[in-house]
Structure 1
Amino acid sequence: MHGHQIRQSAQRDHTELWTDIKVGSLYGALHRMAGEGLIEEVRTEQEGSLPARTIYEITEDGRLELESLRDAALRDTKLAPDPVDLALQLSEDVPTPILASTIRDRLGALTCKLEEWRRLKEVAAPYLTPLETHGFDHTLMRLETEVTWHEGLLKALSVTPAGVVERGEDE
């Protein structure tokens, strides 16, 4: 593939989540990987008035590196700390309505993201392999858990999801 095709594929696959290559710095990474012997230039193509594009191919060393990255990702079970947990620990001085508003905004964003992933899975379903379907399900379950956790946090703050601060009996 040429760089633009690789970039599109990397964006679809969310490559930045499992490697140190950011989509925005792809061309620099291609040159670095070529220098390391992980990929090689096989030819240059030009379609019409478009700029010439270098076509890359993965090398045997590149396949071994890819397998190593994949295997490491499959074995990695550590949970990355969520900055929200630390922020909550440091939020004792934040008035409850303000904290609740922030959490409500997060809940809304996560709910939207969950619905986007549900729609995406529905559209993609006919084209997904069984393993890709499990990947979608993993993301959906994680988002569902986040939504449930945020709803529980709002309840713990005595705030309804609609944003009404409930008064205790002694208030």
Structure 2
Amino acid sequence: MSATKLLVLGVVHLSGGAHGYQVRSELQSWGAEIWAKIKPGSIYHALKKAAADGLLNEHAEPGNSGPDRVLYRVTDRGRDEIVELVRDGLRRTHDPTMLDAAVAMLPMLTRADAIAHVDERVARLEAELVGQAQGWENPNSDIPEHVREQADLWAGRARTELEWAKSLSKRLSEGAYTMADDPGSWRTVPDPLEMRF
């Protein structure tokens, strides 16, 4: 649920406000139903739950010859939640869906914050690889050989992810992507609804 929550909140926020259908369409255009395993019903459930939890505000708008539509906008608490979920997804290992969602919402962090959490992931992966290698090297272990194959698979994935994370940290350090503290980011662009007043 955390990945769905993050993506739904993030799309609403980066859109400046959105209806459920808009959130669903945006996530479908990203292929999120595949890499985040998001189902359309879970999007609407996440919107309603986030509104009930005070992470989104709901604004009724007249529908075109039908019932009112609900426009969702992220609250300050919702923005804080997005940032915490991105941080958690970047540093948490063994949860590829949450990592994918965090990468999709990476611009919600400041550059230094993003680098720090990616670097924390690097450190965790390095420590896990060392620990895993030491744990499986015991010749007296009763672990079947075919189960050891799974450990090799995990280690291969972890090494690949480690190289990717190091590369991402380097690219961020070199200025890749518009981050939250950069000109033109979500934090530096005026909120169109706030400008009306």
The TM tier, using the shorter chain, reads 0.3 to 0.5
- TM-score, scaled relative to structure 1: 0.41
